[in-house]
Chain A
Amino acid sequence: NAGVMQNPRHLVRRRGQEARLRCSPMKGHSHVYWYRQLPEEGLKFMVYLQKENIIDESGMPKERFSAEFPKEGPSILRIQQVVRGDSAAYFCASSPRNRVGYGYTFGSGTRLTVV
Chain B
Amino acid sequence: GIQVEQSPPDLILQEGANSTLRCNFSDSVNNLQWFHQNPWGQLINLFYIPSGTKQNGRLSATTVATERYSLLYISSSQTTDSGVYFCAVAKETSGSRLTFGEGTQLTVNP
Contacts and interface: CB of A to CB of B under 8 A. Distances in A.
Nearest to A48: B96
A98 B96 CA distance: 6
B95 A55 contact: yes
A54 to B, nearest CB: 12
B106 interface: no
A48 B48 CA distance: 20
Interface residues of A, number: 28
Interface string A30-43: 01010100000111
Contact of A33 (B33, B45, B96): B96
Interface string B78-110: 000000001010111011111111110000000
A43 B88 contact: yes
A64 to B, nearest CB: 21
Interface stretch (A13-21, A68-76, A77-85, A105-113): A105-113
A95 interface: yes
B66 interface: no
Q: Give the secondary structure class of A's interface.
A: strand
A31 B86 CA distance: 22
Pick the most buried of A95, A98, A106, A109: most chain B CB atoms within 10 A of its CB.
A106
B86 A42 contact: yes
A105 B86 contact: no
Interface string A90-110: 010101001011111110110
A48 B43 contact: no
Given A33-B97, A108-B41, A111-B41, 19 more contacts: A33-B98, A35-B100, A41-B102, A42-B86, A42-B102, A43-B43, A43-B88, A43-B100, A45-B98, A56-B95, A59-B97, A89-B41, A98-B95, A100-B30, A100-B31, A101-B30, A101-B50, A104-B45, A109-B41
